[in-house]
C-alpha cells in the first residue's frame, strides 16, 4: 500500500494546510487513459468527474501535438506565429458571428478577470452582478464574486448577488415562466441598486448552465427576460463557459447556445486543452480593441505555440470523434438509468443535467425536499471506495456532480449506475 499519510504530511509541510482534496481517503493518482485512472497501488478507477481531460486522459492526439510543438518552438507571445491565429480562427467559427475575436490566457480566472475589465472599458462603469452560489475564479477581482469565501473586508460596493436558480426549489415556489420572471426581477433590482450607486452597472456574469449552482434543469428561454433587462440597462452579458463549454451539454458546443442567447463576452478554461493550462476570452473585435485601449493587456504565456497546438488538437478530436453527439446519447442513457434508480431509492429527490453533465439530488424526504448533505458525502466516498470517482455540488451540497471525460460510453454509464445502486442499497 502506498503511504497516503506520509504524502499528506509532506503536502502540509511543503504546500501549506487547507489545500482542497477530494474524499475522506484521498486518491493518489499516478496514471490516466481515456476515462480511466490508476492509483499508486495499481487500482483502476472509472473517472466520472473530470472535465479537464475533456477528450480523455492522455489522449494520444493531444500528447502528440504538445510533444511536436514543444520540440519545435515555444516562446512568449510577442512574436508572430500562425498557431494562435489558426486556433482562434477555428475556435471563433463555433460561435455566433458577433463573437469573432479572442484573447488567450492560462486559466479561467484570468479570462473572467479580463471579461470584467472589458465590460468596464465598454461601459465606463464597474458594477457587476453574479449569483449567490457561484465561483468564477481566484484573482482578487473575481474572488469578489464568490459567496463561499467572502473577501476580507466584505464584498465591494460594486458587487450584487442574485439568488442562484434552483429548479427543484424554484424562487417563490414558482415553476416555468414565473420562475424565469422571478430571476429576471432579482437581476433588475440589482441593476437598479448599482445604477443608484457610484459604480453603475457594467455586467452580469453567469455560467449559462449554472454548474457551480448545481446545474438546475431550466425551462427553455429561462434567461430571455434577464438578457433583455441587462441589454435595456446598457450592460454586458458575460457567459462563463469554463464548465459547460466544448460540447459537454450534448446539444450544442456552448452552454449559452444550449440556453438560447448570445452573450457579449464568453470566457473559457478547464477543458480547452485537455489539462494543458489554457483559457480564453471570446468577444467582438470592437470589444477586444476597447479593452486593449483601456488596459494594454499582455500575457507572457497565454496563447503560446504549445498551448495553441494542444487546444487545436482538442477541437479536432471533439469533431472527429463526434464527442458532442456521444455526450447527447450517453447522457440521455445515463439519465434513464437514474430514473430507474429513483424508482427504487427514495433518497434520490431530483435528477438533472444535460449530456455528460448530470447528477442526482439526495433528500431526506421527497415531500419536504429536505436536503441530505451527509448522505451525499457518504455516497460519494462509498463510490470512491468501489472505484468510481464523482463529486458533490449544489446550493445544499447534496447533489452528485458527474462530468466525465467526453468519450464516456454506455458501458461506463452502466458501471457507474450499478455501483450507485449497490451503494444506495447498502446505506
Ligand atoms: N469559472 C468557473 C465556472 C469555474 O468553475 C472555475 C473553476 N472551478 C473558474 C471559472 C476558474 O478557473 P481556473 O481554476 O482555471 O482559474
Q: What is the pLDDT of residues 167-203, one digit of tens each?
A: 999 887 777 888 999 999 999 999 999 999 999 999 9
Tens-digit pLDDT profile for residues 397-422: 899 999 999 999 999 999 999 999 99
Q: How many residues in total does the chain contain? A: 427
Residues 390-395 have a mean pLDDT of 90
Q: What is the 3-state secondary structure (H, E, C) of 93-119?
A: CCCCCCCCEEEEECCHHHHHHHHHHHH
- The percentage of the chain sitting over the pLDDT mark of 70, rounded to a whole number, equals 100
Residues 131-159 have a mean pLDDT of 93
pLDDT at residue 170, as a whole number = 87
What is the number of the ligand 1 atom nearest to the C-alpha of 112?
10
Tens-digit pLDDT profile for residues 239-288: 999 999 999 999 999 999 999 999 999 999 999 999 999 999 999 999 99
pLDDT at residue 231, as a whole number = 98
Candidates 3.40.50.300, 3.10.129.10, 3.20.20.70, 3.90.1150.10; correct CATH number of 25-55+322-426?
A: 3.90.1150.10
Question: Cα(52)–Cα(79) distance, rounded to whole angstroms?
Answer: 29
Helices (H) and strands (E) in the chain, counts: 12, 16
Mean pLDDT computed over every residue of the chain: 96
Q: Helix or strand or coil: residue 130?
A: strand
What is the number of the ligand 1 atom nearest to the C-alpha of 107?
15
Helical spans, DSSP H, in 93-216: 108-123, 176-196
246 within ligand 1 shell (Cβ under 6 A):
no
Residue of 424, 355, 354 whose CA lies nearest to 383 = 424
pLDDT band (50, 70, 90) for residue 3 = confident
Question: Cα(229)–Cα(6) distance, rounded to whole angstroms?
Answer: 54
Residue of 316, 263, 265 whose CA lies nearest to 103 = 265
Q: How far is the CA of 2 from the centre of ligand 1 (A)?
A: 31
pLDDT band (50, 70, 90) for residue 394 = confident
Q: How far is the CA of 135 from the centre of ligand 1 (A)?
A: 7
166 within ligand 1 shell (Cβ under 6 A):
no
H/E element holding 388?
strand 388-389
Q: How far is the CA of 366 from the centre of ligand 1 (A)?
A: 32
CA-CA-CA-CA torsion sign (103, 287, 316, 353): positive
392 CB burial (10 A radius; 0-12, 13-18, 19+): buried
Question: Cα(249)–Cα(328) distance, rounded to whole angstroms?
Answer: 7
Cβ count within 10 A of residue 56: 25
331 within ligand 1 shell (Cβ under 6 A):
no
Cβ count within 10 A of residue 78: 7
**pLDDT of residue 328 exceeding 80:** yes
pLDDT at residue 137, as a whole number = 96
Distance linking the first and last C-alpha atoms of the chain: 27
pLDDT at residue 18, as a whole number = 82
136 within ligand 1 shell (Cβ under 6 A):
yes
CA angle 300, 303, 305 (to 5 degrees): 100
Tell me the CATH architecture of domain 61-320.
Answer: 3-Layer(aba) Sandwich (3.40)
Question: Cα(351)–Cα(358) distance, rounded to whole angstroms?
Answer: 8
**pLDDT of residue 329 exceeding 60:** yes
For 226, the grid coordinates are: 434577464
265 within ligand 1 shell (Cβ under 6 A):
no
Domain residue ranges of the chain, discontinuous segments joined by +: 25-55+322-426, 61-320
243 within ligand 1 shell (Cβ under 6 A):
yes
**pLDDT of residue 1 exceeding 70:** no
107 within ligand 1 shell (Cβ under 6 A):
yes
For 109, the grid coordinates are: 480566472
For 301, the grid coordinates are: 504565456
Cβ count within 10 A of residue 331: 23
Residues 218-235 have a mean pLDDT of 96
Question: Cα(147)–Cα(150) distance, rounded to whole angstroms?
Answer: 5
**pLDDT of residue 80 exceeding 90:** yes
pLDDT at residue 311, as a whole number = 98
Question: Cα(298)–Cα(296) distance, rounded to whole angstroms?
Answer: 7
Residue of 180, 178, 177, 174 whose CA lies nearest to 210 = 180
pLDDT band (50, 70, 90) for residue 148 = confident
Q: Helix or strand or coil: residue 55?
A: coil
pLDDT at residue 175, as a whole number = 79
Q: How far is CA 305 from CA 61, 165, 334, in A?
A: 16, 40, 38
Question: Cα(161)–Cα(168) distance, rounded to whole angstroms?
Answer: 20
Cβ atoms of 248 and 51 within 8 Å: the answer is yes
CA angle 219, 225, 230 (to 5 degrees): 130
Residue nearest to atom 16 of ligand 1 (CA): 109
Amino acid at each position: 500500500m502506498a503511504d497516503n499519510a506520509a504524502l499528506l504530511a509532506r503536502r502540509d509541510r511543503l504546500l501549506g494546510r487547507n489545500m482542497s482534496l477530494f474524499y475522506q481517503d484521498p486518491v493518489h493518482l499516478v496514471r490516466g487513459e481515456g476515462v480511466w485512472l490508476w492509483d499508486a497501488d495499481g487500482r483502476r478507477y472509472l473517472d466520472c468527474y473530470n472535465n479537464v481531460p475533456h477528450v480523455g486522459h492522455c489522449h494520444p492526439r493531444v500528447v502528440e501535438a504538445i510533444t511536436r510543438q514543444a520540440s519545435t518552438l515555444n516562446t512568449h507571445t510577442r512574436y508572430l506565429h500562425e498557431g494562435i491565429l489558426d486556433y482562434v480562427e477555428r475556435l471563433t467559427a463555433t460561435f455566433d458571428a458577433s463573437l469573432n475575436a479572442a484573447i488567450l490566457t492560462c486559466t479561467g480566472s484570468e479570462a473572467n478577470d479580463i471579461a470584467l475589465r472589458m465590460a468596464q472599458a465598454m461601459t465606463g462603469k464597474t458594477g457587476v452582478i453574479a449569483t449567490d452560489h457561484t465561483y468564477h475564479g481566484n484573482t482578487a477581482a473575481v474572488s469578489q464574486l464568490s459567496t463561499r469565501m467572502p473577501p476580507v473586508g466584505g464584498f465591494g460596493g460594486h458587487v450584487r448577488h442574485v439568488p442562484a436558480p434552483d429548479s427543484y426549489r424554484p424562487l417563490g415556489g414558482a415553476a416555468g415562466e414565473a420562475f424565469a420572471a422571478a430571476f429576471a426581477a432579482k437581476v433588475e433590482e440589482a441593476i437598479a441598486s448599482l445604477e443608484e450607486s457610484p459604480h453603475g452597472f457594467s455586467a452580469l456574469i453567469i455560467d449559462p448552465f449554472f454548474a457551480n449552482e448545481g446545474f438546475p434543469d431550466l425551462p427553455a428561454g429561462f434567461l430571455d427576460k434577464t438578457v433583455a433587462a441587462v441589454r435595456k440597462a446598457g450592460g454586458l452579458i458575460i457567459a462563463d463557459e469554463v464548465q459547460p463549454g466544448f460540447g459537454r451539454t450534448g446539444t450544442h458546443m456552448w452552454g449559452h447556445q444550449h440556453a438560447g442567447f448570445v452573450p457579449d463576452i464568453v470566457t473559457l478554461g478547464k477543458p480547452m486543452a485537455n489539462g494543458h493550462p489554457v483559457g480564453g476570452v471570446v468577444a467582438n473585435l470592437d470589444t477586444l480593441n476597447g479593452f486593449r485601449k483601456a488596459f494594454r493587456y499582455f500575457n507572457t504565456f497565454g496563447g503560446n505555440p504549445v498551448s495553441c497546438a494542444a487546444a487545436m488538437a482538442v477541437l479536432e478530436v471533439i469533431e472527429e470523434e463526434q464527442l458532442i453527439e456521444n455526450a447527447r446519447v450517453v447522457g440521455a442513457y445515463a439519465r434513464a438509468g437514474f430514473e430507474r434508480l429513483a424508482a427504487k431509492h427514495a433518497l434520490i429527490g431530483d435528477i438533472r443535467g444535460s449530456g455528460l453533465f448530470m447528477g442526482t439530488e439526495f433528500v431526506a424526504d421527497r415531500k419536504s425536499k429536505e436536503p441530505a448533505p451527509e448522505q451525499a458525502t457518504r455516497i460519494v466516498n462509498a463510490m470512491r471506495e468501489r472505484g468510481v470517482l464523482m463529486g458533490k455540488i449544489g446550493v445544499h451540497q447534496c447533489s452528485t456532480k458527474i462530468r466525465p471525460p467526453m468519450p464516456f460510453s454506455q458501458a461506463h454509464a452502466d458501471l457507474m449506475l450499478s455501483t450507485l445502486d449497490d451503494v444506495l442499497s447498502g446505506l
